[in-house]
């Protein structure tokens, strides 16, 4: 950026270049606010490009900066819009600064939102509870009092999550779910390591170590293959009919994913949202708050088929490989097209190693899979299990370990 030769009036040029640099810095700030990963080196290169004559032609500059500053498809698609708004908006200066300021003012309040949300969340959940209990009333009643194990003992492990009313109990159940998830995670990885023993010969180290034997490989150095982590993709139904379970499942999934490097999570109700980032938040409370915001706007039924279609179309290629287990947590009350759900399940089944469908309602005595969605999906599911109590969650472990 300081490549000007010996211009007549140094002060003037300095002033101009300072102006341009300042403007560029503001632009980079705008990009960072919009989630672009722009570092110092990129800023320097951008300045160098502007000095190298790209600045004279906006179209060229836009394209050049796009290549330099975008890092993924989503950046790539948004860049032109941001660039135009910033640089080409008429009387650029004032407008761009106001957008920048608005962004800056917005983002802290967005960040504050989750913590403010923490309290009202319970209310929101309660409000959501009432909605499904109207349309799913008869099912609710038929399940009541006949819960398997509920009468045996007042043991938390056996209590259906939706029966937990008292906040303390809920907190206990959440903690237990998180603990269980953690234990499962360590056991799963340990088992994996013990099972896969690679024994390829490491020739390089062997030769190096045996020079003193005249090159006769006496002491062999072997190589252990690093255990490849299994990947878990969770699709969680956050619709109204699931609201009694959503909380505890979020906690459980957060626990399982926490340190799993290879994990992705999605929420769906009428549409699909990727929530992996929120799930990987270390603090469970913060993660749940972020998620509860994403989960809101539910109601109006569950479009499992459409959500799966979105998943297959836009996310599957990236998040699924041959050692992936897809875990769907849903009651299977499909309000969309059940045939579509069947088709998309088939497509999903072809891609991944295994599909686990957890249905909390399955734990209710006398429940038979009559929901249209479940019927269409079942032929493609490898494991269909209840997940309404801590005990039933524990029962999943051996299955996941075999993956």
Pick the binder of other proteins from 94, 123, 211, 368 (CB under 8 A): 211
Closest to 47 measured CA to CA, from 65, 33, 71: 65
The residue length of the chain stands at 403
Number of residues that bind other proteins (CB under 8 A): 35
Q: Is 73 in the site for other proteins (CB under 8 A)?
A: yes
CA distance 85 to 78: 11
Report the Cα 381 to chain-centroid distance in Å. 22
Sheet of 263-268: strand order equals 272-274, 263-268, 231-237, 324-329, 354-358, 383-385
Q: Which is nearer to other proteins, 63 or 296 (CB)?
A: 63
Pick the binder of other proteins from 16, 19, 25, 71 (CB under 8 A): 71
Q: Would strands 263-268 and 200-201 be described as parallel, antiparallel, or unpaired?
A: unpaired
Structure tokens at 89: 């908006």
**Cβ(265)–Cβ(279) under 8 Å?**
yes
Give least dist CB 315 to other proteins, A: 10
Apex 243 CA angle, 237 and 245, nearest 5: 80
Pick the binder of other proteins from 67, 95, 141, 271 (CB under 8 A): 67
Structure tokens at 60: 């060229």
- Among the candidate windows 48-56, 92-100, 113-121, 159-167, which touches other proteins by CB under 8 A? 48-56
Apex 47 CA angle, 42 and 49, nearest 5: 95
Query: DSSP labels for 299-310?
Result: -S---HHHHHHH
- Among the candidate windows 83-91, 123-131, 158-166, 315-323, which touches other proteins by CB under 8 A? 315-323
Q: Is 192 in the site for other proteins (CB under 8 A)?
A: no
Which DSSP category does 271 fall into? S
Pick the binder of other proteins from 141, 146, 208, 222 (CB under 8 A): 208
CA distance 254 to 54: 47
Q: Is 317 in the site for other proteins (CB under 8 A)?
A: yes
Given CA atoms 389, 393, 399, 403 in this order, what sign does their dihedral have? positive
The 344-383 site mask, x for binding other proteins (CB under 8 A), equals ---x------------------------------------
Give least dist CB 178 to other proteins, A: 26
Q: Is 52 in the site for other proteins (CB under 8 A)?
A: yes
- Among the candidate windows 13-21, 66-74, 290-298, 380-388, which touches other proteins by CB under 8 A? 66-74
Q: Strand pairing partners for 308?
A: none
Give least dist CB 125 to other proteins, A: 32
Q: Is 66 in the site for other proteins (CB under 8 A)?
A: yes
Q: List residues binding other proteins (CB under 8 A).
A: 37-39, 41-42, 45, 48-49, 52, 60, 63-64, 66-68, 70-73, 75-77, 203-204, 207-208, 211-212, 214-215, 228, 317-318, 321, 347
């Amino acid at each position: 950026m300081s490549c000007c030769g010996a211009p007549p009036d140094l002060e003037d040029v300095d002033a101009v270049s300072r102006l341009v640099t300042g403007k560029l810095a503001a632009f980079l700030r705008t990009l960072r606010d919009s989630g672009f990963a722009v570092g110092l080196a990129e800023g320097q290169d951008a300045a160098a490009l502007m000095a190298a004559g790209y600045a004279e032609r906006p179209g060229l500059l836009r394209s050049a900066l796009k290549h330099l500053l975008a890092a993924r498809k989503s950046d790539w698609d948004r860049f032109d819009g941001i660039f135009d708004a910033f640089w080409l908006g008429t009387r650029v200066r004032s407008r761009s600064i106001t957008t920048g300021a608005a962004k800056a003012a917005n983002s802290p309040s967005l960040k504050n939102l989750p913590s403010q949300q923490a309290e009202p969340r319970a209310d929101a959940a309660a409000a959501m509870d009432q909605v499904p209990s109207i349309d799913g009333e008869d099912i609710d009643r038929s399940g009541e009092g006949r819960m398997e194990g509920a009468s045996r003992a007042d043991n938390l492990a056996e209590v259906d999550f939706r029966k937990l009313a008292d906040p303390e109990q809920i907190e206990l159940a959440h903690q237990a779910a998180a603990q269980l998830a953690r234990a499962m995670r360590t056991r799963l990885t340990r088992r994996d390591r013990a099972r896969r023993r690679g024994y390829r010969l490491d020739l390089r180290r062997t030769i190096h170590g045996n020079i003193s034997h005249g090159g006769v490989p006496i002491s062999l150095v072997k190589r252990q293959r690093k255990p490849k982590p299994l990947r878990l993709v969770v699709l969680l139904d956050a619709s109204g009919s699931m609201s009694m379970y959503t909380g505890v499942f979020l906690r459980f999934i957060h626990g399982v994913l926490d340190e799993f490097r290879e994990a992705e999570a999605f929420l769906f109700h009428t549409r699909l949202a990727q929530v992996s980032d929120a799930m990987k938040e270390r603090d469970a409370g913060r993660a749940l708050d972020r998620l509860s915001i994403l989960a809101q706007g539910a109601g109006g039924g569950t479009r499992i088929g459409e959500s799966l279609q979105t998943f297959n179309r836009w996310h599957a290629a990236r998040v699924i490989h041959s050692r992936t287990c897809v875990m769907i947590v849903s009651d299977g009350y499909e309000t969309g097209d059940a045939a579509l759900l069947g088709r998309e399940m088939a497509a999903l089944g072809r891609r991944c190693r295994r599909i686990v469908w957890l249905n909390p309602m399955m734990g209710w005595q006398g429940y038979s899979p009559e929901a249209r969605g479940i019927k269409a999906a079942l032929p493609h599911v490898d494991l269909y299990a209840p997940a309404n109590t801590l005990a039933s969650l524990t029962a999943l472990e051996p299955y996941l370990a075999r993956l």
